[in-house]
Each structure stands twice: as C-alpha cells, then as structure tokens.
C-alpha cells in the first residue's frame, strides 16, 4: 500500500469519534476489529498536526444509570460509564495534547449518538470557519453515522475515512454508508485527501 500523506487545508478538522476502550475487543460493547482502526487514525492525526489542522475527539460519557442501558430500558449493555477505565480513550490512540474533547451521552432523558446533538459543536465550528470535517472512529453504524448525517445537515462537507471506522453489524455498516452518501457525505476508500 502506498504511503498515505493526507493534505489538509485551512477550514478542515479531523474528528475522532468515540474511540474508547469499551468499544474495542474486550470492552463492554465490543465492536469487531474496533482496535484495528488505530493505526489509520494515528496516521490521520499526525497528518492533521503536521498541516496545522485541529483534532477533535468525542467520547461517549454516560451516567451509570443511563437510559441507553438495557437495565434502564435501552438497547445496549452498560458502557462508557463516566470516569471508568472502559470510558477512556484507547491507550494506542495518539491524541495530541491540544485535541478538543467533545463529551456526549450525559443526558438522563435520552441518548445522544451524534457529536452535534445539543453540544453546540456545529455553531462553534462554523464560527471557527470550519468547512470540511474528516471523520474516523466508532461505530460506523451508530455514532459515526449520526454525526455524519448531522454534520451534513449543519452544512459541513463530511468525509468518512472507511479504513478508520468499523460497524457494530456488517449489515448496519452497509446501510450506514448508503445513508451517508445520500446525505452528501464522501466515503473515502483510499485515505488520501487529494
Ligand atoms: C455508540 C452504541 C451506544 C457509538 C454509543 O459510539 O457508536 N454505540 N453508544
Ligand atoms: Zn453509548
């Protein structure tokens, strides 16, 4: 495989979605091959830093009685409980010291899959002059999907790096790609920006 040297421009950001221990093999809500994206993510993070472009990282950050947990009427096993080891970013994720952290999933009344769901992030990024958002992380068919759809809706040009994401289910992953494309997102199969 040729070396990937992404070229970022002013107005770009790189967004890492929910790359936390609980979503990787051995975690509470393990996604198959969830940890296989780390090499690709780190490559893109380094490229963003080299090109002077900000890195944002979201984290799922639930209260221990969260509504998305099956014990409390939701669809998922308990995961990413605030301040637990499982909620930490994967230790192999090389986040820069100045990465901006976006915390979500803290509400008691409903889940927030999208990084844009009542976080104020879209307004903030518009005010920073951000136009294009390059995305990797977990899970392709849940929080990555919701974030990409909302990002398109909010007027950003969204790009998914296919090698830097994995779905909860293969079927869901395929459908997610279709929805993202239909919303105007670009699915980057190679991993180069230009
Ligand atoms: C996620 C399931 C439950 C995700 C979060 O980050 O994709 N998936 N909570
Ligand atoms: Zn969650």
Residue 189: its pLDDT value, please?
86
pLDDT for 194 beyond 50: no
Residue 5: its pLDDT value, please?
47
pLDDT for 190 beyond 80: no
**For the chain, domain boundaries:** 12-188
For residue 113, report the distance from its CA to the centre of ligand 1, in Å: 6
Residue 102 Cβ contacting ligand 1 at under 6 Å: no
What span, in angstroms and rounded, lies between the C-alpha atoms of 82 and 71?
17
Give start and end residues of each alpha helix (H) in the chain.
38-50, 121-127, 143-153, 170-182
- The confidence band for 2, taking pLDDT boundaries of 50, 70 and 90, is very low
Token pair recorded at residue 5: 């040297």
Contacts of 90 (CB under 8 A, 6+ apart): 19, 20, 21, 24, 35, 38
What span, in angstroms and rounded, lies between the C-alpha atoms of 134 and 15?
6
What span, in angstroms and rounded, lies between the C-alpha atoms of 26 and 4?
30
Ligand nearest to the CA of 23: 1
Residue 103: its pLDDT value, please?
98
Mean of pLDDT over the chain: 95
- The confidence band for 79, taking pLDDT boundaries of 50, 70 and 90, is very high
pLDDT for 45 beyond 70: yes
Give the CATH superfamily of 12-188: Isochorismatase-like (3.40.50.850)
β-bridge partners, 14: 55, 134
Ligand 1 atom with the smallest distance to the CA of 76 is 3
For the residues 71-98, what does the mean pLDDT come to?
Answer: 98
For residue 19, report the distance from its CA to the centre of ligand 2, in Å: 12
Residue 4: its pLDDT value, please?
60
Angle in degrees, 0-180, between the axes of helices 170-182 and 143-153, rounded to the nearest 10: 0
């Amino acid at each position: 495989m040729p070396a990937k040297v992404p070229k970022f421009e002013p107005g770009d950001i790189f967004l890492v979605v929910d790359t936390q221990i609980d979503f990787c093999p051995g975690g509470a809500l393990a996604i198959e091959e969830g940890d296989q994206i780390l090499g690709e993510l780190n490559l893109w993070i380094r490229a963003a830093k080299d090109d002077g472009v900000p890195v944002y990282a979201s984290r799922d950050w639930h209260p221990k009685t969260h509504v998305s947990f099956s014990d409390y009427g939701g669809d998922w096993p308990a995961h990413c409980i605030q301040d637990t080891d499982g909620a930490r970013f994967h230790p192999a994720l090389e986040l820069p010291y100045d990465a901006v952290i976006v915390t979500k999933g803290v509400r008691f009344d409903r889940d927030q899959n999208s990084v844009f769901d009542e976080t104020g992030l879209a307004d903030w990024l518009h005010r920073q002059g951000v136009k294009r958002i390059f995305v990797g992380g977990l899970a392709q068919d849940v929080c990555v999907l919701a974030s990409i759809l909302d990002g398109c809706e909010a007027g950003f040009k969204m790009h998914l790096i296919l090698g830097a994401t994995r779905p909860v289910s293969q079927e869901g992953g395929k459908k997610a790609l279709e929805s993202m494309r239909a919303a105007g997102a670009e699915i980057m199969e190679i991993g180069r920006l230009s």
